Amino acid sequence: MPWRLLRFALSSKHPEPRMFTRHDTLKPTYDVVIIGAGGHGLAAAYYLARDHGITNICVLEKGYLGGGNTGRNTTIIRSNYLTPEGVKFYDESVRLWQDLSQDFDLNLFYSNRGHFTLAHTDAAMRTSRWRAEVNKHYGIESEVVGPEFVKKTAPMIDLACGGAPILGGLYHAPGAVARHDTVAWGYGRGADLRGVEIHQRTEVTGIDVVGGKVVGVQTSKGRIATTKVLCAVAGSTPRILKMIDVRSPLYIHPLQAMVSEPIKPWLDTILVSGSLHIYISQSSRGELVMGASLDPYEVQSTRSTLDFPEGLAAHMLDMFPFLSNVKVMRQWAGMADMTPDFAPIMGKTPVEGFYLDAGWGTWGFKATPVCGKTMSWTVANDRNHELITGFTLDRFRDYALTGEKGAASVGH
Ligand code: FAD
Ligand code: PYC
């Protein structure tokens, strides 16, 4: 048997196509250079090629494809935001998610679960009502529910919650999860098939700007001439902005998560408690995917700590005491690029030809498709797409913030 397998593996009769083309050298010039092969950079490359016919693009990635926050998040998809700008934007994303597996011919394991934001205080109930009203106004399915509905949907929950009883919360039926790394692979393969070059292990070390315009990019593998650069590097954004001397109010905090060993399916839905600072869902493999709020210090690091599983597990057991013997299998961290108003920073910048897709903090996975769509449009037309006008960098200069903190899911 091993011999037959080996013969098959060494035969050239049924070659397994590689997921991506390997490019050993950079061309001297590209129409568009995208920094960061996370979901956002790859989605923008995909839609630039597919919808705008721009294919002379390279995506530069200092590590490996999807190895940043895209491969580290807890995959929650929802549109139950607080501001009209946010609700419309994320709603469009949820719409785009529906067809992606088909588009890519790749199963993203998109799974509609319903999403609870649990309220343990009167103030949290009030925010739930506020969000439900804004959501309904824009046609989004969200409603305020009582503790009975929570118990019916998640029967294993202890509503007393260790002294912080659940009063009810916001229920958002479209809430979903998907397999995060396949999203990067799907967009990457789709872009690659259309002629986009993806260069992994290629770090951007400088941006050449002359007369306020982008003219080139310095990389660990040489210089590239270009007039358009899209920066989609999440937690590394301040480092890139320094290269073009542009200031932003971004601050970077680690965000950690962990998964348990796989257990029998018992949790169908997604539960978030802003007061306990925890959230949980069960993956299709049976693992419990769990997270909490940001680490309370600014640092650009993906190191995880022992404090984190200890604190998270204590609150998780308040909610689900029966989990006390379940083992934690692994934990990790990503670098969350936070903004003061918990909304992203998107679009044109003071440097001509330099476009920014950042400020995705703890909430950017769900936005991957709509970011790709709107940023590719913005780059192709050199004009901010109408869906991102509430998210531009100059809102901080103009004191016109887009306050999304109440919908940020995990408490901060
Ligand atoms: P990334 O995936 O981080 O990609 C950026 C890439 O840029 C990286 O691969 C990096 O290596 C590369 N790069 C950086 N500097 C350079 C350089 N100089 N040259 C070349 N390449 C460079 N969001 C949700 O919507 N739902 C969730 O449930 C959720 N949970 C989360 C849980 C955790 C633990 C974390 C950390 C985040 C979570 N998020 C969630 C947020 C979400 O993961 C991010 O907002 C999103 O993945 C950002 O995608 P991106 O493509 O912009 O960035
Ligand atoms: O944006 O829904 C979200 C989320 C949950 C956990 C981290 N981010």
Hey, which residues does 112 pair with through a beta bridge? 176
Cα gap 81→83, rounded to integer Å: 6
- DSSP conformation class of 277: T
Q: Over pLDDT 70: what percentage of the chain? A: 99
How many Å is the maximal CA-CA distance in the chain?
70
Confirm whether 354 is domain-assigned: yes
Based on the fold, state whether residues 260 and 328 are members of the same structural domain.
Answer: yes
Do residues 192 and 159 share a domain?
no
The closest residue, in CA terms, to atom 18 on ligand 1 is 204
365 CA to middle of ligand 1, Å? Answer: 8
Structure-token pair, residue 335? 């670098």
d(CA 315, CA 73): 20
pTM for the model stands at: 0.96
Residue 161: what pLDDT?
95
The Cα 239–Cα 402 span in angstroms is 24
pLDDT band, very low/low/confident/very high, at 46 (cuts 50, 70, 90): very high
Taking a C-beta distance cutoff of 8 angstroms, is the pair 410, 404 a contact?
no
Q: Is residue 215 classed as helix, strand or coil in its secondary structure? A: strand
Strand partners, 171: 116, 143
Residues 190 and 231 in one domain: yes
Q: Is residue 264 domain-shared with residue 404, that is, in the same domain? A: no
pLDDT, tens digit, 9 for 90 and up, residues 332-385: 999 999 999 999 999 999 999 999 999 999 999 999 999 999 999 999 999 999
Report the candidate in 169, 175, 141, 173 with the shortest Cα–Cα distance to residue 157.
169
Residue 411 has pLDDT above 70, yes or no: no
289 Cβ below 6 A of ligand 1: no
Instruction: Give me the pLDDT at residue 149, please.
Output: 98
Which of 176, 170, 410, 153 minimizes the C-alpha distance to 273? Answer: 410
Residue 10 predicted with pLDDT over 90: no
Q: Which atom of ligand 1 is nearest to the CA of 332?
A: 34
Looking at per-residue confidence, does 394 or 406 come out higher?
A: 394
Pocket perturbation via mutation, ligand 1, pick of 65, 224, 231, 362 by most ligand atoms within 8 A of CB: 362
Cα gap 118→135, rounded to integer Å: 17
Looking at the structure, tell me whether residues 255 and 245 fall in a common domain.
Answer: no
CA 100 – ligand 2 centroid, Å = 20
pLDDT at 6: 84
Question: Is the beta carbon of 336 within 6 A of some atom in ligand 1?
Answer: yes
Which atom of ligand 2 is the closest one to the Cα of 73? 7
Q: Identify the domain boundary among 338, 364, 398.
A: 338
Which pLDDT score is estimated for 327? Answer: 97
Residue with tokens 């991957």: 368
With CA atoms as reference, report the closest residue to 212 among 227, 224, 222, 223.
227
Listed residues 318, 338, 358: the one ending a domain: 338
For the cut 90, the answer to whether the pLDDT of residue 45 exceeds it is yes
Q: What is the pLDDT of residue 354?
A: 98
Residue 193 lies in a domain: yes
d(C-alpha 69, C-alpha 92), whole Å: 22
Domain residues for 63? Answer: 26-72+181-250+341-408
Question: What Å distances lie between residue 264 and 99, 267, 284, CA to CA?
Answer: 29, 9, 10
* 136 and 208 housed in the same domain: no
Residue 103 covered by a domain = no
Distance from the alpha carbon of residue 314 to the mean position of ligand 1, in angstroms: 27
Same domain, 304 and 200: no
Number of H helices, E strands in the chain: 10, 20
CATH number at residue 334: 3.30.9.10
Q: What is the CATH number of the domain that holds 380?
A: 3.50.50.60
Q: What is the pLDDT of residue 77?
A: 98
Q: Please, which residues have CB within 8 angstroms of residue 18's CB and are 6 or more apart in sequence?
A: none
DSSP lists the bridge partners of residue 336 as: 253
CA 211 to ligand 2 center in whole angstroms:
40
What is the total count of domains within the chain?
2
One-letter identity of residue 256: Q
Instruction: Look at residue 94 and tell me if it is in a domain.
Output: no
Written as one letter, the residue type at 102 is Q
User: HSE of 121 in the Cβ direction (CA atoms, 13 Å)?
Assistant: 7
Structure tokens at 303: 């190191």
Residue 257 and residue 377 in one domain: no
Let me know whether 210 and 242 are in one domain.
yes
Of 314, 338, 362, the one marking the end of a domain is 338
| Residue 59, C-beta contacts closer than 8 angstroms, at least 6 positions apart | 34, 36, 37, 41, 42, 45, 188, 191, 196, 197, 198, 199
- Looking at the domain assignment, is residue 361 inside a domain? yes
pLDDT for position 166: 98
pLDDT above 60 for 163: yes
Mean pLDDT of the chain: 96
Tell me, yes or no, whether 8 lies in a domain: no
pLDDT digits (tens, 9 = 90+) for 231-276: 999 999 999 999 999 999 999 999 999 999 999 999 999 999 988 9
Cα separation of 83 and 137, whole Å? 11
Does 16 fall in a domain?
no
pLDDT given at position 1: 61
Q: Are residues 334 and 356 in the same domain?
A: no
d(CA 179, CA 242): 33
List the one residue out of 141, 132, 224 whose CA is nearest residue 169.
132
Residue 273 phi/psi, 5-degree rounding, is -125, 110
Q: Out of 131, 363, 368, 405, give the residue to mutate to test ligand 2, the one with the largest number of ligand atoms within 8 Å of its CB.
A: 363
- Cα separations in angstroms, 319 against 283, 305, 408: 19, 23, 20
Query: Measuring from atom 1 of ligand 2, which residue has the nearest CA?
Result: 363
In this predicted structure, the answer to whether residue 412 has a pLDDT above a threshold of 60 is no
Q: What is the dihedral of CA 19, 22, 28, 30, to 10 degrees?
A: 0
Domain co-membership, 169 together with 267: yes
**Inside any domain, residue 93:** no
Strands 176-177 and 76-77: antiparallel
Render pLDDT for 265-309 as a digit per residue (tens, 0 to 9).
999 999 999 889 999 999 999 999 999 999 999 999 999 999 999
Same domain flag for 402 and 260: no
- On the 0-12 / 13-18 / 19+ scale of CB atoms within 10 A, 18 is exposed
Ligand 2 site residues, Cβ closer than 6 angstroms: 74, 76, 78, 279, 291, 362-363, 409-410
Nearest CA to 277 out of 180, 169, 409 is that of: 409
For residue 406, give both structure tokens: 């109440």
